[in-house]
Every structure is written in C-alpha cells, then in structure tokens.
Amino acid sequence: MVPKKRQYGSGCLLKRERGWAIRWREVERAPDGTTVKVLRYEMLGQISRAEAGRQLAAKLAAAGTQQPVRSRVPFQTLVTQWEATVLPVYKHSTQKHRRWILKKHLLPQFGDTAVCDITRQAVQAYVAQLMRAEYAPKSIDHIHDVLSAILRTAVKWGHLTDNPARAIDLPPLKTVRPKWALTPAQATTLLEALSPLGRAMVGLAILSGLRRGELFALRWRDVDETGRLLTVREAIYDGVVSTPKTDAGRRQIPLSATALALITEWKAHAYTSEPDAFVFSTRKGHPLAPNNVLRRVVFPACKSRELPRATWLTFRRTYASWSHDKGVSGKVVAQLMGHANVDTTLNVYTQVLDGSVRTAMETVGDELFTIVHKTEGSTPIVSS
C-alpha cells in the first residue's frame, strides 16, 4: 500500500536520538521588505510525541496567518522609517530627546541586528548591561520606553507578532536628587536678590505653577491686567513655539495681587509691551533661554544668599507645596497647573468654581513676601 502523501505545509515530526524535532514553513520578511516562505527546524528534546505535535501545531497556526513571523529587516532600517513617519507626530522636545537616545544608545546596540533577533532575552540583557554601567533607573526607563515605542510600531507594520520590549524587568525608579521646595522666607530672600526681570520670572513661576516652557512663551497679549488673568496658550522648547504639553495646559490662571505687581514692575523696564511680543525677551525680541536664565541670573542669586540651587521645577513644586499646605483643593491645583495625568476626580475641572480658583491664587500670593521695588539702576539682560 502506497503511504498517503503528506500535505504541503503541514510540517512534520522527526524522531531523533535526543528526542523529537519539528520542521515547518513560515513567512518571513526579507531585508528588502519582500515576504518569502522559509523552512524552519527546531530540536525539542526529550518530550512526548503528543507534546511535540502540539508545539508543531502552534508553529503551523502562526504560519497559517500568512503574516511574517520573522523579519530580517535591520533595526536601523526600521528606525529610519519610524523617524520619518512616526516621530514627527510628537512635540519638538520629545523628538529631540528620542533622537538623542537613538543615536547615543539604541542604534549602537541594535543597529545592524535583524528585528526578529531582538528578543525579550536580548532586551533584558541590554537592561542588565545598562545597570552594570551604572545608568540611573530613570535613564534606563527612558531608553526602554523609546525601544518599546519602535518595536510597538514594528508589530503594527507586520515585522513582529509581539513586542519583545514588553514584560521586561526594570530597576525600580528612585529619586537621585532630593526634591525640595522653597519656604516663604527663602523665596523672599531669593527675590530680593534679583533684578526686576529676574524677580518677575521667578516670582511668576512660584505664584502660578507655570511650566518653564509656558512661562517663556508668554506674550503681553496673554496678560489681562484689568481682569487679572493670565492665559496659557503656547509653550516653547529650544526656541520652537508650540502648544502646551497637554490639552489641560491650555488654561487661564487668575493672578494674585503680588503676581500682578511683579509683572507691572517688569513692564516698566521691558523693551516693548506690544501684544505679540514675548514678556521675557532679548533686545531683539527673541524669547529668553530658560537654562541661560538659570546659569546667569538664578544660580548666582541663590549663591549670594546661600540657598540651594533652585530650578524652574523647584518653583513649580514650590507652588504645589504651598497650595497643599494652605488646604487648596487638589482639583483646583490640577486645573491651575495644567495637569492631565491625575486622579479622575482631579480631572473633573467643570466642577471647579471660578471663585475657588481666584481664592487659590490669592491664598498662595499672600504667602509670599513684600517685594522690595528697585526702580533705579539698569536691568540685567540675558541673551538667548
């Protein structure tokens, strides 16, 4: 009797001295982007015939989708396509940060590796490598996040059936530098050491909770002196003006009497107060660079008053801390600070009364110092 011919593509079980092996065909994406069927072989070892059959069936089921099970496309090629089509949807700051991580870390590590060879074991080994090199847990988390984003796109584009960067064990996040906030006394001391320009920038940052990109993107048309309101509609990073970080970032912030006094004092010294002009700008009208302001204005003032180095994040944290200490509703603080990823209750902004928002700003404003106005002398200018 002639044996029944095995159906093409059904795979086969092979008995070997060391146990069972399986052979099957599956679709693979070649480096040039085309798809081909290739023959696969895997030694399973000392298992039962039934178990070998089940593993073969699983391989055939995956191959039966006609979707590439493996992709021989190099990681570098995938990254080039990702940078051209996916990365532009992110904000400028995110694009810059992710391009740096790609150039510094991921391309040197995986650039020539075929996408199918980037396994969970390979990703986990890379995380261990970064830990041995003593990278901070937060840095490792950022690197992993970018790798995962690219491999997630690889899944969408059919290069992979699963994201190998998922379910990776990462080192626990911990704060390397202690978080701190200014006390009212420290804030008063710092502001007294600054010129009208520095006093307006730092004071407004403390009294409004603005992100640094929002603070330096403010234009004079955003300041309503009569209604005592500040409208946040733009943010800036590396000289590129865009929208705020989140949808919740587009907001109006009531100005306390103290905050308004700071702005009014600076307005008398400003080069221009035309509606479209930046509130904090160079002589040529360009927005100031936040890091330059820290190095040339804030850090020297902190040193002269024997204070720790304060940053824009310190001022934003100071506002949140003072608000909490004064019993301001977390829901109100979330709205004023433009938070998006907060507890659901805090995101129900429509339930926040205008009166509560105004009271919050006055409460925090009253906590601050009596400002010593210095109208004589020149105002230090910071170049961007």
* pLDDT tens per residue across span 178-191: 778 898 999 999 99
pTM over 0.75: no
> Would you state the pLDDT for residue 335?
82
Token pair recorded at residue 314: 């310190």
What residues form DSSP beta bridges with 12?
23
Say what the pLDDT of residue 310 is.
Answer: 95
Residue 39 pairs in a beta bridge with 25
First to last CA, the chain: 89
Using DSSP's 3-state secondary structure scheme, residue 172 falls into: coil
CA–CA distance, 203 with 367 (Å, rounded to integer): 12
Ranges of residues in the chain whose predicted pLDDT is under 50 = 1-2, 344-354, 369-384
CB atoms within 10 A of CB 331: 18
pLDDT at 352: 40
Quick check: 71 and 159 in contact, CB under 8 A? yes
Could you give all domains of the chain from N- to C-terminal order, each with its CATH number? 12-71 (no CATH), 75-156 (1.10.150), 184-367 (1.10.443.10)
139 CB neighbour count, 10 Å cutoff: 15
Phi, psi of 218, deg, nearest 5 = -65, 140
Please tell me the predicted confidence (pLDDT) of residue 11. Answer: 80
Distance CA 253, CA 232 (A): 8
Distance CA 178, CA 324 (A): 19
Q: How far apart are CA 384 and CA 378, in angstroms?
A: 19
Structure confidence by residue, pLDDT tens digits, 257-292:
999 999 999 999 998 999 999 999 998 999 999 999
Tokens of 311: 């940053």
CB 307 within 8 A of CB 298: no
Helix intervals (H) in the chain: 49-63, 75-85, 92-101, 107-110, 120-132, 137-156, 184-192, 196-208, 212-215, 257-267, 290-293, 299-304, 312-325, 330-337, 354-367
> Quick one: the chain helix, strand, coil %, rounded to 5?
50, 15, 40
